[in-house]
Structure 1
Amino acid sequence: MAGEVVELRVGDRTVRVSHPDKLYFPEPGYTKLDLVQYYLAVGEGITRALGNRPTTLERHPDGIGGESFFQKHAPKHLPDWIPTARVTFPSGRSADEICPTEIAAVLWAVNLGAVTFHPWPVRRDDTDHPDELRIDLDPQPGTDYADAVRAAHELRAVLDEHGLRGWPKTSGGRGLHVFVPIVPGWTFTEVRRAVIACGRELERRMPERVTVAWWKEERGKRIFVDYNQAARDRTIACAYSVRSRPRAPVSAPLRWEEVDDVVPRDFDIKTMPVRYAEVGDVHADMEGERFGLESLLDLARRDERDRGLGDLPYPPEYPKMPGEPKRVQPSRAKRTPPRG
């Protein structure tokens, strides 16, 4: 099929797939067309997960073994039927990003080499107020998926005590993500603070297993609650996204009762369509729920008032934020003499 073009009729759209036999995942031998067919098989699920959200594309035009880049601006020659939304970055700059609303838009992006989709936690009509609280349970060296599962169960209890319900999914690597649909009335700063409060409570309950320490030297063999994934312009691969790893794993939505019985390698572009055909989108009911953050933000205020626990460091590329502590690695701070 070298040099050929495959045309797919998807709803009212015709999507062209150029070089369908181009090798994207050399180890299992998966091609661009295999990737297209995967996303077509989970079409309603990936469309629900992207849901009219500004989306950064992780593009691998020559497959995962070649050069790659994150595309935040809408690609050139964007069809007029794919909407965009303007998002503002921490630097103050802005960009128009694509907002997929149908599976044809996903396939169009895959034809450009998009492997993974990283949607913002906002919708196109309000890009300053997140409608998802996203909690990333990131295993550190010496820990694995089983450790993330233990943390996730305790996280579920924390959320429940604050009147929240989370939906878990594999990250596509070793970790777990838990998403909570929220009313879009809070700023990115407030949502991030709610994640920090949640992470600190989890750390208090599991001090030997969980940490919110930003500096790697302080994390140890624990699960890191990556609270900065809630910062503006930080995104998480959405449900059903393929990850750019050798075996083409995918970020798999789970029911809570499944979390203990699976491992991330169970889900890839060949096994997920089979599961999807059997059980459908197990996160479809997220769309009918919206929760408030009042309780977690109250917890954040109590942490600051009673325990002196204020903000935590932002990533290094972010401007200095009000109330943020010094961004100095602890070991460097100890050995750097004061000026004067």
Structure 2
Amino acid sequence: MPKTPAAEVAVGARSVRVTSPDRVVYQATERTGEITKLQVCQYFAAVGEPLMRAVGERPTAMERWPDGWREGMRLATGPQDREGDGFYQKRLPKGAPDYVETVAIRFPSGRTADELCPTEPAALVWAAQMGALTFHPWPVRRPDVDHPDELRIDLDPQDGTTFADAQRVAQVTKELLEELGLRGYPKTSGNRGVHIYVPIHTRWTFDEVRHAAIGLGRELERRDGGVTTAWWKEERGRRLFLDYNQNLRDRTIASAWSLRARPGAPVSTPMTWQHLADVTDPRDYNLTTVPDYLAGGDPWAGMHDHSYSIEPLLQLWETLPGGELNWPPDYPKQPGEPPRVQPSKKVAAHWDADGNRIES
């Protein structure tokens, strides 16, 4: 069978070449028919303007699925995992067009990389041509990539919880933020969760913003028994996990308007608070429906017209009991951090009062 010739997708004044345009990226579901690579590229062209408001000038990792996504496919866990079907691309691949720009970023290890830094929608369509379905932007913009301009609240449903639980907790979060003089902007995660972004002043470090997220999470735990900040999954139970570590350097959340590697090409979709409360199934917001949804306006337009202080959240961190929580395993051990071992596997006699293992 002859190979399908490349297609062209118009993006502003540019035209992006799309090879293998009829490749099936998403299989048909009850909500959508088969979705091809060309349709994915056309989607990102259609949402280019609001997507640029979300990721423009930000270091952005690409979640790439070169052969499309199918049930049972797996995302690689790291650079050494060669068996994954999809992977995160944190360094811009060679051969990118001249209009695809980068920014230098530093990982927790101290190593550096030149990561995609979108400056126009064509760069995002090019990334989709390379198999990117989801964009993972840092909460910073160049030239200052060391001071976040967003606090990101990731309400992650655990086993036994539902999107309805995330909706309820999101409303509690909204009320708490408003009490503290802050404003949050919600979106669906593209699955069962909810993300809430708060635009903040760029005077704090990643570590300080992480502490602000812990303070917020602890107050939510006080107000709603369905919330937890427990790092270890075995301690979370049937509650939503507020993933405070998503605010650290090189930790990212799927961007607004990104596709997700899930059945039916769902989209992580920004909403007003009222709209979020009325949603019955987040899967209704997908590649085929979101362009029409956007015709009513971008709920996040103007989000960064005003920014907020995280001092009220840092006060919660300072005053609520609990102390330091665990950091991700690729970070150096931090002062006051609890032991990096599952509680069920911890033998008290093997650890000192500071959480350090006692060598035998």
User: What is residue 228 of structure 2 aligned with on the other side?
Assistant: 211
Shift in Å, 1:184: 1.1
Provide closer, same or farther for how the CA distance between residues 325 and 18 of structure 1 changes in structure 2, counting only shifts above 3 A: same
- Deviation larger for 142-151 or 293-302: 293-302
- Is 1:57 equivalent to 2:62 in the alignment? yes
Shift in Å, 1:311: 1.4
User: What is residue 324 of structure 1 aligned with on the other side?
Assistant: 337
User: What is residue 78 of structure 2 aligned with on the other side?
Assistant: none
- Deviation larger for 314-323 or 161-170: 314-323
Task: Give 1:187's aligned amino acid.
Answer: T
Shift in Å, 1:322: 2.6
Mapped partners of 2:161, 2:12: distance in 1: 44
1:157-187, Cα deviation, whole Å (9 max, x unpaired): 1111221100000000100000001111110
User: What is residue 185 of structure 2 aligned with on the other side?
Assistant: 167
- Is 1:222 equivalent to 2:239 in the alignment? yes
User: What is residue 260 of structure 1 aligned with on the other side?
Assistant: 277
Shift in Å, 1:14: 2.1
User: What is residue 149 of structure 1 aligned with on the other side?
Assistant: 167
Mapped partners of 2:236, 2:266: distance in 1: 27
Mapped partners of 1:15, 1:40: distance in 2: 10
Shift in Å, 1:334: 4.2
- Is 1:14 equivalent to 2:15 in the alignment? yes
* Unaligned 5+ runs, structure 2: 74-84, 352-357
Shift in Å, 1:79: 2.0
Give the TM-score of the pair, scaled to structure 2: 0.89
Equivalent residue for 1:68, pick from 76, 82, 86: 86
- Is 1:281 equivalent to 2:281 in the alignment? no
Shift in Å, 1:327: 1.3
Mapped partners of 1:101, 1:79: distance in 2: 13
Equivalent residue for 1:301, pick from 318, 324, 345: 318
Mapped partners of 1:257, 1:72: distance in 2: 36
- Deviation larger for 133-142 or 293-302: 293-302
Three-state SS of the structure 2 residue aligned to 1:158 is: helix
Shift in Å, 1:316: 1.5
Q: Quick check: 1:40–1:103 contact (8 Å CA) kept in 2?
A: yes
Equivalent residue for 1:30, pick from 20, 32, 35: 35
Equivalent residue for 1:176, pick from 185, 194, 214: 194
User: What is residue 199 of structure 1 aligned with on the other side?
Assistant: 217
User: What is residue 77 of structure 1 aligned with on the other side?
Assistant: 95
User: What is residue 323 of structure 2 aligned with on the other side?
Assistant: 310
Shift in Å, 1:190: 0.2
Mapped partners of 1:324, 1:163: distance in 2: 30
Equivalent residue for 2:255, pick from 238, 261, 265: 238
User: What is residue 117 of structure 2 aligned with on the other side?
Assistant: 99
Three-state SS of the structure 1 residue aligned to 2:230 is: coil
Q: Quick check: 2:55–2:118 contact (8 Å CA) kept in 1?
A: yes
Shift in Å, 1:336: 6.9
Shift in Å, 1:85: 0.8
- Is 1:90 equivalent to 2:108 in the alignment? yes
- Is 1:112 equivalent to 2:130 in the alignment? yes
- Is 1:122 equivalent to 2:127 in the alignment? no
1:15-36, Cα deviation, whole Å (9 max, x unpaired): 1111111110123310001111
Provide closer, same or farther for how the CA distance between residues 37 and 9 of structure 1 changes in structure 2, counting only shifts above 3 A: closer
Mapped partners of 1:163, 1:322: distance in 2: 31
Mapped partners of 2:350, 2:324: distance in 1: 25
* Unaligned 5+ runs, structure 1: none
Q: Quick check: 2:215–2:314 contact (8 Å CA) kept in 1?
A: yes
Mapped partners of 1:337, 1:196: distance in 2: 28
User: What is residue 3 of structure 1 aligned with on the other side?
Assistant: 4
Q: Quick check: 2:10–2:45 contact (8 Å CA) kept in 1?
A: no
User: What is residue 82 of structure 2 aligned with on the other side?
Assistant: none
Q: Quick check: 2:9–2:41 contact (8 Å CA) kept in 1?
A: no
Task: Give 1:246's aligned amino acid.
Answer: P
Q: Quick check: 1:84–1:124 contact (8 Å CA) kept in 2?
A: no
Q: How many residues align?
A: 334
Mapped partners of 1:25, 1:94: distance in 2: 34
Three-state SS of the structure 1 residue aligned to 2:302 is: helix
